[in-house]
Structure 1
Amino acid sequence: MTLSEDARTLWQTATALARAAAAVSPPKRPLPPLLFFTDPVRTPRPWETAACLPVGAGVVFRHFGAADALETGLRLRAATQAAGVRLLVGLDADLAERIEADGVHLPKRALSAAYALSGRRPGWLLTGAAHSAATVKAARDLDALVLSPVFPAGGASGRKRVLGIDGFKAWATHAPCPIYALGGIGAGNVFDLLGSGACGIAGVDAVQTAFRP
């Protein structure tokens, strides 16, 4: 599959971040350099984007209680398996088991569930959301944290204080696990993350726009 210029920029920078972070502090298990976060409104056909992602990337399926969660989850599972992409389900561990996902992404309010999930499913990849230095410092039993928003962003992150590169670096130094950068990241500013300590990048709109059929 031929990647667009923006897709190449995002993927190449994400993999460079992953290599640099692993050289400093190897992760407990291999992590996707790039995570595509879905949203029922903003990404109505996420399986199409998932099918266009490079081998080794990841998808975080957030259904937010949508009625078609199982149907969408199964379509995502089929697309990610065919593409060699890992699939995590947001919060819903039962759905993750049902569709045979590769792990779970926990919102801030549910980070305490990581301990039980790591025991229940030791092979799962577990990530969690963080929006404050206190959350970063307190996180436990996770393979990685997703810290946001780094840049001005859309969706729910648009109401949160922007970290900027300096803020991201400062919080990342206190993290007990690798940190992804999320929020307003696109081909035009992703290079700013080089040297930030991020283990990779995550996105919604920018990833959907760059990686499309």
Structure 2
Amino acid sequence: MTARYSVAMAQFQHLPDLWLLSDERNDGTLEASLARLPRASGFVYRHYHLDDPQRWARFQLLKRVCRALEHVVILADSTLTAREWGADGIYGAPRSLYPTRTDMLTIATAHDLEEIGQANRARADAVMVSPAFATNSHPETPFLGPNRFRMLAQHADMPVIALGGMNQRTADRLKWPRWAAIDGLS
């Protein structure tokens, strides 16, 4: 992995090791889940199930919780929306992150070697590689497992965050320092 950090990364002490992603399934427990995370963890707000006014209002409430706990707040949306809403960065498919380079933290998603390459070309600050293990979000999707996960991760030019079926037990099994979860942290 090449050590390459953007201007956005420079504003943070470090890239968090632990990330909570929002989902319709964990919406009712997000405040408590965020409070249980170690200080300065990461939070990716997705909430695709809400219409725009509700999604904005819920984001603002959760952002206040995150700020009190020094969590990094990432929005699954455009750079413009992330700026307007006061997020620290954006999250999405690598093709949605480039060619625009931004002063915001950018986290790409990747499921295969092609998307890892796209994340590299987008110069993402981090990439979430999934699904590392079987997941409730996509139960029919074949998961990578430790060997395939590591093979993909070695091609990334940026820090890799494991996603999919992750909890403390699977993180220990994978022996990977950075991981994210929905159910595993809710």
Give the TM-score normalised by structure 2: 0.85
Matches within 5 A, 1:18-167: 26=3, 28=5, 29=9, 30-67=14-51, 68-106=54-92, 108=93, 111-118=94-101, 121-122=102-103, 124-139=104-119, 140-156=122-138, 158-167=139-148
DSSP 3-state at the match of 2:115: helix
Task: Note closer, same or farther for the CA distance 1:117–1:45 as it changes in structure 2 (3 Å cut).
Answer: farther
Unaligned runs of 5+ in 1: 1-23, 209-213
What's the % identity of the aligned pairs? 23
Structure 1 residue 129 displacement after superposition: 0.8
Does the aligned pair in 2 maintain the 1:178–1:199 contact within 8 Å?
A: no
Which residue matches 1:187?
Answer: 168
Which whole-Å deviations, capped at 9, do the CAs of 1:72-99 have from their partners, x for residues lacking one? 1001110010001010001243432222
Structure 1 residue 155 displacement after superposition: 1.1
In structure 1, distance between residues paired with 2:165 and 2:47: 21
Amino acid in structure 1 at the alignment position of 2:47 = H
- Point out 4+ residue stretches in structure 1 off by more than 6 angstroms: none
DSSP 3-state at the match of 1:127: strand
Count of aligned residue pairs for this structure pair: 175
Task: Note closer, same or farther for the CA distance 1:78–1:26 as it changes in structure 2 (3 Å cut).
Answer: same
In structure 2, distance between residues paired with 1:193 and 1:201: 10
In structure 2, distance between residues paired with 1:85 and 1:60: 10
Unaligned runs of 5+ in 2: none
DSSP 3-state at the match of 1:95: helix
In structure 2, distance between residues paired with 1:180 and 1:32: 9
In structure 2, distance between residues paired with 1:104 and 1:159: 27
Does the aligned pair in 1 maintain the 2:3–2:158 contact within 8 Å?
A: no
RMSD: 1.9
Give the TM-score normalised by structure 1: 0.75
In structure 1, distance between residues paired with 2:97 and 2:182: 24
DSSP 3-state at the match of 1:191: helix
In structure 2, distance between residues paired with 1:61 and 1:142: 18
In structure 2, distance between residues paired with 1:40 and 1:153: 15
Structure 1 residue 27 displacement after superposition: 5.1
